[in-house]
Chain A
Amino acid sequence: MTSYLDDNHGILSWLATRDHKRIAILFLIATAGALLLGGAFALVLRIELLVPGKLFLSAMDYNRMFTHHGVVMVFLFMVPVIPSVFGNFFLPIMLGAPDLAFPRLNLASFYVYVAGAIIVLAAMWFGGIDTGWTFYAPYSTTSPTAVGVATFGVFVVGVSSILTGVNFIATVHTMRARDLGWMRMPLFVWAIYATAIIQVIATPVLGMSLLLVAVDHAWSLGIFDPAMGGDPVLFQHLFWFYSHPAVYIMILPAMGVVSEVVCTFSHNPPASYRAIAVSSLGIAFVGFLTWGHHMFVAGMSTFDVGAFGFLSMFTAIFSAIKVFTWTATLRHGAVWVTTPLLYFFGFMFLFVFGGMTGVALATSSLDIHWHDTYFVVAHFHFIMVGGTLTMYLAALHYWFPKMFGRMYPRRWSIVAATAVVLGFIFTFTPQFLLGNAGMPRRYWSYPAEYQWLQILSTAGASILAMGLALNFAYLVWALFRGARVERNPWGSRSYEWLAPSPPPLHNFDEPLVIRRGPYDYHLPE
């Protein structure tokens, strides 16, 4: 059968497609653009910070730049990337379904994303935004920059996220192949499912809060302005009620990728399927009860601080269950070190280190010292960005042969993976030290004694950037020139490898009959 890539030609056959795989590729291109843009903003910041005071950006432009970096990376890259690209591509295949439940809705959610992204980018181009990606009121509602337009754009992107979430949940519930029970689904499906639940429940609250900011900014309603009787801390509550769970929207899909990569390359079933699946739901649930830890110093009773700190630490327990299960899976397996597995090793370091600093930050006495410093910046970059970025790249390298039927140059990919992981660690380790020494986040200038750490951080960022550029170069090359691969180059047992590489229009030549579990390595393939 002809693959989905050759099924139909011409630009319209892509732009008007309803095939989940083609929509996934559209999302792949769009989110790669977002990564490139957000990365460029980050490099501009890092270069400016090489010297105390002005190098080439004014303080106002610096404020705009870190806001643009945060907004693009969080809302246009990290939130959508793994669900919309790999979830879209593999969820139906892993369920033995010919497509998602609502293919037209899927295409709509792509265009809603694009529309939102264009609005956000237009706001950045005309006037910029200087509030930080959290849009804290009352500054955000009075800022002279294009905050109203930008928050409206993020609201539109949120609608896309909700539509995707609804589609995924409905698909998991109604489209599973015959004999594919819940406990036989690949763990990636569980992760995407848990993520979709958070998307559907938390995103509307963020959307509404940002809509309030947009309307307030446009017509000075003063909903969060103390001068008109409003309460700015209320905005923080509403904002973090979504944005904390959003951290799990970013990290849970990454964890799903980890489970697939670890099992495939240790040729071993997970040490406990149930522990991984249930801890995903546990994180999704507890994630809704921790938002207050962002506001320990914003005026909160001691009891609330203690309660939110305690609940935050629960997340660490569920995360630790996963980390130990993955390690145990490797321990009993026949490990094959490949590029995706290298990224997994990077993930483990970043996730565990970032997680431990998270537990430390959840302790209110320590948080008062570290609050709003580079320590927090380094913490969330390690756990959230490090976790998501490494596993995004792992997923790309793991599933590339399935998605495009070709293999990338493996040696180059190992060089690039090493550069990305080491560059990342090199960028943010100095920032932990800077934060602990008292460097506040979002500052344009700093005392001279911090300079050597800032320079080290910028050096790390350049290594990271080179690693990403290398990734981009050989992956694009491999799209056209990579060696052809057969159906299952990794010898995986998961269901997506039963489909041809690349899969045909409706994924399987004949309806999939599930005879074994996705990790039954003791059975012949």
Chain B
Amino acid sequence: MTAIEPGPAHARARVREADVQFENLAKQAHAVRFGIWLFLASELLLFAGLFALYTAYRTEYPAGFAAGIRHAELAIGTVNTSLLVISSYTAASALRAIRRDARRAALGWLGATLALGTVFLALKGLEYSHHAAEGALPGAYYAFRELPEHGGQLFFTLYYFMTGLHVLHLVAAVLVLAWLTWRVSRRRTTAAYHADLEAGVLYWHLVDCIWIFLYPMFYLLT
């Protein structure tokens, strides 16, 4: 079992041992990293089905989709995109900080990441309310007079479903990162073992990456 030598830097750190099924912490970290990548692959396929759906309907209704995109809230979408890109940088910086055992810096970076994610969610809510006010609601509730065709209706249905699923993922990512922040603050996630933070940050990047695809699909490709 790998135990940490209680030096000055780790004076208050708990001595972390590997879980019983692993020979040592290095193997455990390897398994966690491997597992999270598999999970991310699975998550990508969850969205892949929706991308296929979007492609099929866009091919069927090119004009309706283009018109739908022209009604998108481009400003909010663009601000949100930059927020998420920056949050990926801050999340990665938190990981770098924990690796060189800078706990306070890591907490700062994690706090910034959480804040950026939360602002994204708030702006997204604002955007939804704008669309709802116009009557651009999904499916049977669709009452958007400017865009009466099927294409526009399907565009907004997919818009709500896909960005909504993304919002759920982001909420999950915020909760996970908040829990990890607590672990860092209590010195449970440290330089000696931080595979959990690595996994959480990877998940954050995934949520970011998916948005990078949603952004052109719903805001740019007219």
Once the chains bind, are B139 and A223 in contact (CB under 8 Å)?
yes
Would you call A231 an interface residue if the criterion is a C-beta within 8 Å of the partner chain's C-beta atoms?
Answer: yes
A201-B41, A506-B20 known; A215 vs B161 contact (CB < 8 Å): yes
Q: Which of A174, A203, A241 contacts B31 (CB 8 A)?
A: A174
Would B41 and A170 count as touching, CB distance under 8 A? no
Provide the bound-state CA to CA distance between A231 and B27, in Å. Answer: 48
Q: Are A219 and B150 in contact (CB under 8 A)?
A: no
Name the one of B30, B41, B48, B141 contacting A219, with C-beta atoms under 8 angstroms. Answer: B141
Q: Mark B56-86, 1 if CB is under 8 A from A, else 0.
A: 1100110000000000000000000000000
Q: Which A residues are in CB contact (< 8 Å) with B60?
A: 229, 231
Interface residues of B in 22-50 (CB under 8 A from A): 22, 27, 30-31, 34-35, 38-39, 41-43, 45-50
Q: Does B9 contact A (CB under 8 A)?
A: no
By size class, the interface of chain A is: 35 or more
Asked whether A222 lies within 8 Å of B49 as measured between CB atoms, the reply is no
Among the stretches B89-97, B151-159, B170-178, the one at the interface with A is B151-159
Q: Which residues of B contact A205 (CB under 8 A)?
A: 45-46, 48-49
CA distance A294 to B210 in the complex (A): 31
Q: Are B38 and A212 in contact (CB under 8 A)?
A: no
Q: Which residues of B contact A103 (CB under 8 A)?
A: 19, 21
Closest Cβ–Cβ distance, residue B30 to chain A (whole Å) = 6
In the complex, whether A440 has a CB less than 8 A from a CB of chain B is no
Q: Which residues of B contact A219 (CB under 8 A)?
A: 138-141
Q: Determine, out of A82-90, A92-100, A479-487, the stretch whose residues face the partner at the interface.
A: A92-100
Nearest 7 A-B pairs (CB), nearest first?
Answer: A229-B150, A221-B139, A204-B46, A99-B21, A220-B140, A170-B35, A174-B31
B53 contacts A by Cβ under 8 Å: yes
User: What A residues does B41 contact at CB under 8 A?
Assistant: 200-201
User: Are A98 and B21 in contact (CB-based, < 8 A)?
Assistant: yes
Nearest B residue to A226 via CB reads B150
Partner of A234, one of B45, B56, B139: B56
Question: Residue A238 at the B interface, CB < 8 A?
Answer: yes
Distance A204 CA – B21 CA, assembled complex (angstroms):
29
Return the CB mask of A344-368 against B: 1 if under 8 Å, else 0: 0000000000000000000000000
**Which positions in B face A, CB cutoff 8 Å?**
19-22, 27, 30-31, 34-35, 38-39, 41-43, 45-50, 52-53, 56-57, 60-61, 138-141, 149-151, 153-154, 157-158, 161
Q: Which residues of A come within 8 Å of B, CB atoms?
A: 92, 97-103, 105, 162, 165-167, 169-171, 173-175, 200-205, 207-209, 212, 215-216, 219-223, 228-231, 234, 237-238, 241, 506
Task: Evaluate contact between B157 and A221: CB separation under 8 angstroms.
Answer: yes
Task: From A98, A166, A202, A204, give the contact of B35 (CB < 8 A).
Answer: A166
Q: A97-B21, A103-B21, A229-B154 are in contact. Are A238 and B45 (CB under 8 A)?
A: no
* Cross-interface CB contact of A212 among B19, B35, B56, B161, cutoff 8 Å: B161
Also in contact, A231 and B139, with CB within 8 A (given A170-B31, A174-B30, A209-B49) = no
- A238 near B52 with CB under 8 A, answer yes
Q: What chain B residues lie within 8 Å of A234 (beta carbons)? A: 53, 56
**Contact in complex: B53, A207 (CB < 8 Å):** no
Identify the closest chain A residue to B149 (Cβ): A229
Say whether, besides A98-B21, A203-B42, A506-B20, A216 and B139 are in contact (CB < 8 Å): yes
Chain B, Cβ-Cβ closest to A227: B150
Across the interface, A173 reaches (CB within 8 A) one of B34, B47, B141, B161, namely B34
Q: List 7 A-B contacts (CB under 8 A).
A: A100-B21, A101-B22, A170-B35, A171-B31, A173-B34, A201-B41, A238-B49
Q: Which of B21, B39, B56 contacts A231 (CB 8 A)?
A: B56
Report the separation of the CA atoms of residues A229 and B61 in the bound assembly, to the nearest whole angstrom.
9
Residue numbers in B under 8 Å from A171 (CB-CB) = 31
If the complex has contacts A221-B138, A241-B49, are A175 and B21 also in contact, measured as CB distance less than 8 A? yes
Smallest beta-carbon distance B26→chain A, Å? 11
Residues of A within 8 A of B46 (CB): 204-205, 207-208
- Asked if A228 contacts B21 (CB within 8 A), the reply is no
In the complex, chain A residues whose CB is within 8 Å of the CB of B149: 229
Are B38 and A200 in contact, with the CB atoms below 8 A?
A: yes
A234 to B27, CA, bound (A): 44
For residue A171, give the distance in angstroms from its CB to the closest CB of chain B.
8
Q: Which residue of B lies closest to A170 (CB)?
A: B35
Within 8 Å CB of B153, what residues of A? Answer: 222, 228-229
B48 / chain A contacts, CB cutoff of 8 Å: 204-205
Write out the residue numbers on chain B whose beta carbons fall within 8 Å of the beta carbon of A212.
53, 161
Residues of A within 8 A of B53 (CB): 212, 223, 234, 238
Distance, CA A461 to CA B172, complexed state (A): 47
Instruction: Determine the residue in chain B with the shortest Cβ distance to A103.
Output: B21
Known A204-B42, A212-B161, A219-B138: A170·B150 in contact at CB below 8 Å: no
